[in-house]
Structures are given as structure tokens and as C-alpha cells.
């Protein structure tokens, strides 16, 4: 069996019972409510930032993160440069080998 709740009556009952509470309980409840509202505001603003602007997550926020970014960029650039240099060196060694081999160049060229 289900009883239909009248929201108006419930609110009236709650108001009546809240009048019976002492001041310290009322102020504790008010403080808890205020805290809950503040927490909800912070959560919703973070959600907007993280879903609306993905770039926000890409940009380093602290000096430490900028330093780490700089170091990573430097390491990656150094590695790319080193790899490129090694490739060029390998190609030039091959070119010299082809140009100086006992076999004529026509053997390797179509």
C-alpha cells in the first residue's frame, strides 16, 4: 500500500519540527548547507572548464610544469636532431661507398 505524500504538508511538518530545534543545531545545519552549496559551485565550474575547453588541460599551470615542458621539448629536439644527423651520416657514407666501389656505378643505378 502506498501513501501519497503532500509536499506542502511535509514542508509544514519540517518547519514545525525545525522550530523545536535548539539554536546550536540550527546553526550547525545552516553551516552544513552553506558548505554543500559552495562545494557544488566549485564542482560545476571545473566541469565546464574540462569539457568546454580541452586546451585548458594542455597548458602547464605551474612553474614546475613549464620547466618539465621545456626539458621535454629540449630532450625531444635533441633526439630528433641526433637521429637526423645519424641518418645524414649513414646516407653520405653509402654515397661515398657507391662512388668509390670497385664495381661501376651503373651496376647499382637503373
Q: Three-state SS across the chain? A: CCCCCCHHHHHHHHHHHHHCCCHHHHHHHHHHHHHHHHHHHHHHHHHHHHHHCCHHHHCCCCHHHHHHHHHHHHHHHHHHHHHHHHHHHHHHHHHHHHHHCCCCHHHCCC
Using CB under 8 A as the binding rule, the residues of this chain from 11 to 70 that contact another protein are 57-61, 64-66, 68-69
109 lies in the site for another protein, by CB under 8 A: yes
Closest distance to another protein from the beta carbon of 51 (Å): 16
Residues of this chain that interact with another protein (CB under 8 A) are 57-61, 64-66, 68-69, 71-73, 76-77, 80-81, 84, 88-89, 91-105, 107-110
Amino acid at each position: 500500500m502506498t501513501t501519497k505524500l503532500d509536499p506542502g504538508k511535509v514542508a509544514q511538518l519540517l518547519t514545525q519540527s525545525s522550530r523545536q530545534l535548539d539554536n546550536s543545531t540550527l546553526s550547525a545545519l545552516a553551516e552544513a548547507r552553506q558548505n554543500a552549496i559552495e562545494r557544488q559551485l566549485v564542482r560545476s565550474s571545473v566541469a565546464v572548464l574540462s569539457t568546454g575547453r580541452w586546451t585548458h588541460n594542455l597548458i602547464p599551470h605551474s612553474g614546475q610544469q613549464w620547466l618539465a615542458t621545456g626539458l621535454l621539448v629540449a630532450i625531444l629536439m635533441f633526439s630528433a636532431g641526433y637521429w637526423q644527423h645519424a641518418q645524414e651520416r649513414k646516407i653520405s657514407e653509402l654515397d661515398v661507398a657507391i662512388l668509390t666501389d670497385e664495381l661501376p656505378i651503373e651496376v647499382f643505378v637503373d
